[in-house]
């Protein structure tokens, strides 16, 4: 992110290229699949909003922008149970879940709002700005739908809902 008017050269944005394995498909989502998020949500979007609106709010909030390969590497033993993994950067967790639900086999997604990990700072700033943290950008997070129960997972992930 750069200050308005300070750009005097070209900036290049990159995208990842990879192979989508056959088993990772919205078509494979079924009733009872679990919805997992890999960490707190809304930190990045809130940090950007603070900067964009020149809000001088003190606190420990910082962007959650980080590569997700460390997370996906820890998930390797669970790959056979994962239906889909999606980056909630644009539109946040709510948009990601809406996209998944709208493309699935007429299934809805039940989310337990009290289970969604949102820092108090993010909640307070979002409320002050009239924003919903569920729609705030999340860098360095993954939304995962999988068939396992939480008791079968040996890594720290947060169950926030299920396919309905």
What is the Cα–Cα distance from 135 to 133, expressed in whole angstroms? 5
**Chain segment 15-61, per-residue pLDDT in tens:** 777 666 666 777 788 888 888 898 899 999 999 888 888 888 877 88
Please name the residues in contact with 5: beta carbons below 8 A apart, sequence gap of 6 or more: none
pLDDT-based confidence at residue 134 (cuts at 50, 70, 90): very high
CB 143 within 8 A of CB 97: yes
Average pLDDT of the residues in 118-134 = 93
| Residue 153 CB contacts under 8 Å (≥ 6 apart), including other chains | 78
pLDDT tens per residue across span 89-102: 889 999 999 998 88
- If you average pLDDT over every residue of the chain, what do you get? 82
pLDDT for 41 equals: 93
Q: Whole-angstrom Cα distance, residue 99 to residue 143?
A: 12
- What's the order of all strands across the beta sheet hosting 82-86? 82-86, 143-146, 34-37, 158-163, 109-111
What class, spelled out in words, does domain 26-163 have in CATH? Answer: alpha beta
pLDDT confidence band for 142 (50 / 70 / 90): very high
Domain boundaries, the chain: 26-163
* Cα torsion 102, 103, 105, 110: sign: negative
C-alpha to C-alpha distance for 133 and 31, rounded to whole angstroms = 26
pLDDT above 90 covers a percentage of the chain that reads 25
């Amino acid at each position: 992110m750069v200050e308005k008017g300070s750009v005097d050269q070209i900036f290049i944005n990159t995208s990842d290229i990879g192979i989508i394995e056959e088993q990772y498909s919205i078509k494979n989502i079924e009733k009872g699949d679990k919805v997992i998020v890999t960490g707190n949500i809304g930190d990045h979007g809130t940090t950007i909003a603070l900067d964009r609106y020149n809000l001088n709010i003190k606190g420990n909030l910082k962007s959650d922008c980080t590569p997700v390969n460390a997370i996906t590497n820890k998930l390797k033993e669970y790959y056979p149970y994962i239906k889909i993994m999606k980056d909630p950067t644009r539109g946040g967790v709510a948009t990601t879940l809406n996209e998944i639900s709208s493309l699935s086999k007429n299934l809805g997604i039940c989310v337990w709002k009290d289970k969604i990990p949102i820092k108090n700072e993010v909640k307070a700033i979002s409320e002050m700005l009239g924003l919903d943290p569920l729609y705030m950008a999340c860098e360095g997070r993954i939304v995962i739908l999988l068939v396992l129960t939480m008791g079968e997972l040996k890594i720290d992930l947060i169950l926030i809902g299920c396919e309905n």
